[in-house]
Amino acid sequence: MTVNYSKSVIDNLKKQVAERSSNPRWSEVFSNCFDNTLETTVKSTEYGDTFVITGDIPAMWLRDSSAQIKPYLAVANEDKTIKQLICGLVARQIKCILIDPYANAFNETENGHCYHQDITEMNGWIWERKYEVDSLCYPIELAYLLWKKTGETKQFTEAFKQAAQVIVEVFETEQHHENSPYRFERVGERPEDTLSNGGLGEPCSYTGMIWSGFRPSDDSCTYNYLIPANMFAVVILRYLEEIAEVIYEDNVLAKKAKQLKNTIDQGISKWGIVEHLGKKVYAYEVDGLGNYLLMDDANVPSLLAAPYLGYCSVDDTVYQNTRALILSADNPYYYEGTKLKGIGSEHTPKNYVWPIALCIQGLTTKDQSEKAELLNTLVQTDAGTNHMHEGINVNDPMQYTREWFSWANMMFCELLLDYLKINK
């Protein structure tokens, strides 16, 4: 599965990291993680595109694959192979979206493999069909950042434009979920893996926001207007508006994207901001019927990640209020132990903190000392593997979930590059 990338370009980046790192373990873990994704998860296919498995599962998530490859933008201008690899991934993601915009994970070929025999409209390409708003956001973000970082525009094909139109249509449909064709049920598994009400989900009212069946953890939403996912949608619709105007000179698509963006943003402001202890904070989920959930999850998009995604500034007052809430015991998924503290997930056992969340915490602070402390924590709790994991026991780092989790590996790389101000 190895990609023939330029060793000299990667080695030069590693050298910069090693020279600037005050802790030698930072560069050691960076070196292993940065190589590991390219060498074990990335494949150039017979279709001329790029397929990226998530790690220990032989399928490609639209979300994970984007996050896994994003840090390689740091060297995309110096290595044509890596630039082509990223273009190829966008091409494969676009193909997947056109196959089924409601699916979150796909097979490399039309082999019929799947995680579970679910009650939903499956086909041979689909590994899992959990509708998650963020799955349609990540590929747009990657394509846009590739353009802005390198000037490359060949990812903006007619198929990309068609997929962009499909994404807008799906988002518009899911503003009125009662009219949606999407249904999903999973029998005999965790209750977080299925939707109630015959696969339609719990009742909700119109808010202008987009309904999501599942969180980026692949767990079902409690209230189906997932605020961080809608924040991400606002950002990528802004990107789509620019892409439509500049690349495609399509004022109709640009106008649609802008109107949808504004409507969703207004919905977040009206329904997604609530009072907590006398301060305005973002809720994690709402239903438009007066119910809301105060929490945050380790997976991205998260409330903690709002500035990282480009939705707001780090200094935004509502964000800072929310940050204080979710990095405290007021968040049911915030855990503290003898070895580390941070945000975990319903997806993993209690008292397990996710390295992804620690990295996002570092990427959303201006405090260099906080970033350094988080980097130290990450390398001290890797169980001697020189890689990141999914969740780690706050009292015993030798207890962790997922031996091989490429998304977490690359989030560490992204945080370290950010801290060292390399190719920022």
CB 132 within 8 A of CB 98: no
For the record, the structure tokens of 298 come out as 């380790």
Average pLDDT of 253-276? 98
Output the pLDDT for position 314.
98
Would residue 339 count as lying in a domain?
Answer: no
Average pLDDT of 286-309? 98
Output the pLDDT for position 7.
81
pLDDT in tens, 342-389: 999 999 999 999 999 999 999 999 999 999 999 999 999 999 999 999
Taking the CA atoms of residue 293, residue 295, residue 297 and residue 298 in that order, the dihedral angle to the nearest 10 degrees is 170
Would residue 286 count as lying in a domain?
Answer: yes
pLDDT in tens, 126-149: 999 999 999 999 999 999 999 999
> Would the pLDDT of 424 be above 70?
no
CB 249 within 8 A of CB 327: no
CA distances from 220 to 97, 173, 207, 297, 356 (A): 21, 19, 19, 12, 20
pLDDT-derived band at 215, boundaries 50, 70, 90: very high
What CATH number did the domain enclosing 247 receive?
1.50.10.10
Q: Would you call 46 exposed, middle or buried from its count of C-beta atoms within 10 A (0-12, 13-18, 19+)?
A: exposed
User: What's the rounded Cα separation, in Å, for the pair 34 and 135?
Assistant: 23
Would residue 108 count as lying in a domain?
Answer: yes
Average pLDDT of 116-131? 97
User: What's the rounded Cα separation, in Å, for the pair 226 and 229?
Assistant: 6
> Would the pLDDT of 277 be above 80?
yes
CB 264 within 8 A of CB 234: yes
pLDDT-derived band at 276, boundaries 50, 70, 90: very high
User: What's the rounded Cα separation, in Å, for the pair 269 and 408?
Assistant: 31
Would residue 94 count as lying in a domain?
Answer: yes
pLDDT-derived band at 2, boundaries 50, 70, 90: low
Q: 251-278: string of b/e by CB count within 10 Å (b at 16+)?
A: eebbebbbebbebbbebbeebbbeeeee
Would residue 361 count as lying in a domain?
Answer: no
Task: Characterize the bridge pairing of strands 105-106 and 352-353.
Answer: unpaired
Domain that holds residue 140: 41-332
> Would the pLDDT of 1 be above 60?
no
> Would the pLDDT of 4 be above 70?
no
Output the pLDDT for position 419.
98
> Would the pLDDT of 282 be above 70?
yes
Would residue 269 count as lying in a domain?
Answer: yes
Average pLDDT of 259-265? 98
pLDDT in tens, 18-52: 999 999 999 999 999 999 999 999 999 988 999 99
CB 337 within 8 A of CB 393: yes
CA distances from 410 to 10, 22, 407, 423 (A): 14, 20, 5, 15
Would residue 342 count as lying in a domain?
Answer: no
> Would the pLDDT of 267 be above 60?
yes
Output the pLDDT for position 20.
96
CB 22 within 8 A of CB 372: yes
Q: How would you write 344-403 as a 3-class SS string? A: CCCCCCCCEECHHHHHHHHHCCCCHHHHHHHHHHHHHCCCCCCCCCCEEECCCCCCEECC
- Of the candidates 15, 37, 66, the one whose C-alpha atom is nearest the C-alpha of residue 420 is 15
Q: What percent of the chain has pLDDT over 70?
A: 98
pLDDT-derived band at 329, boundaries 50, 70, 90: very high
Would residue 32 count as lying in a domain?
Answer: no
CB 10 within 8 A of CB 81: no
Average pLDDT of 256-269? 98
Q: What is the mean pLDDT of the chain?
A: 96
- Of the candidates 334, 298, 293, the one whose C-alpha atom is nearest the C-alpha of residue 408 is 298
User: What's the rounded Cα separation, in Å, for the pair 89 and 66?
Assistant: 8
Residue 198 DSSP class: T
Count of structural domains within the chain: 1
60: three-class secondary structure by DSSP = strand
